[in-house]
Amino acid sequence: EAGVTQFPSHSVIEKGQTVTLRCDPISGHDNLYWYRRVMGKEIKFLLHFVKESKQDESGMPNNRFLAERTGGTYSTLKVQPAELEDSGVYFCASSHGGGNTIYFGEGSWLTVV
Amino acid sequence: AQKVTQAQTEISVVEKEDVTLDCVYETRDTTYYLFWYKQPPSGELVFLIRRNSFDEQNEISGRYSWNFQKSTSSFNFTITASQVVDSAVYFCALSVEIYNQGGKLIFGQGTELSVKP
């Protein structure tokens, strides 16, 4: 069974450009999460989908970040326009249901220059 | 509000030493879950263990063991006979479910463990 997959694994963009990160959760997992770790700090929650609905988006830093999960399968996280402080690693995770283990992808490393 | 504290930012040990990584959590919820994840130099987050708040039994998996104590709100992780491959950043995390639909993880700051040969 495939794990959580993320694309791209690494991305370098200039300030002001747009980047779209994609996450494919483990098949059958209704819960999908986005997290990020910026500059060696703690990993912080961004948002949580249950199927295609946003269950909790309290961690989204500002309106430059847009997450979607059309059809309740894969998800995208768009940063537009990117700023220097957006550099970091963006993790996607998924779980089957309540109380179950949350599995992470390998992360998408974003560098904004 | 929930909070996880990993007071040790960096630990350095010599191979074969035992090492304990501390984790203290705060929550007012009676049902919650505790996790440990490992982030090796390659970057991915590797799941190690999940514990629910009603199960205080300690767990051992090979060289890894976990001590969950609700009385002190701690969920410490011990590596016995450490090896160089154990070098990584270790994260403790807390999750409180919302209506049985999963809940976000609150991470500690992470402890960077360096095991030297």
Amino acid of residue B109: Q
Q: Which of A30, A99, A109 sits opposite B97 (nearest CB)?
A: A99
Two structure tokens written together for A12: 């370098």
The partner residues of B112 in beta bridges, in order of sequence, read: B10, B89
Cα–Cα distances (Å) from A89 to A64, B25, B31, B90, in that order, read 17, 24, 30, 16
Q: Is B90 exposed, middle or buried (0-12, 13-18, 19+ CB in 10 A)?
A: buried
- Residue A20: what pLDDT? 98
Contact of A7 with chain B, judged by CB distance below 8 Å, is answered with no
pLDDT digits (tens, 9 = 90+) for B55-114: 888 888 899 999 999 999 999 999 999 999 999 999 999 988 765 566 789 999 999 999
B86: three-class secondary structure by DSSP: helix
Instruction: State the distance between the two ends of chain A, measured CA to CA, in whole angstroms.
Output: 37
3-state helix, strand, coil in chain A (%, to 5): 5, 50, 45
Say if the Cβ atoms of B100 and A98 lie within 8 Å. yes
Residues of chain A with pLDDT under 50: none
Contact of B108 with chain A, judged by CB distance below 8 Å, is answered with yes
Query: Across chain A, what does the average pLDDT equal?
Result: 92
Cα–Cα distances (Å) from B4 to A79, B22, B27, in that order, read 28, 10, 9
Average pLDDT over residues B1-24: 96
Q: Which of B37, B101, B107 sits opposite A55 (nearest CB)?
A: B101
- Residue A98: what pLDDT? 64
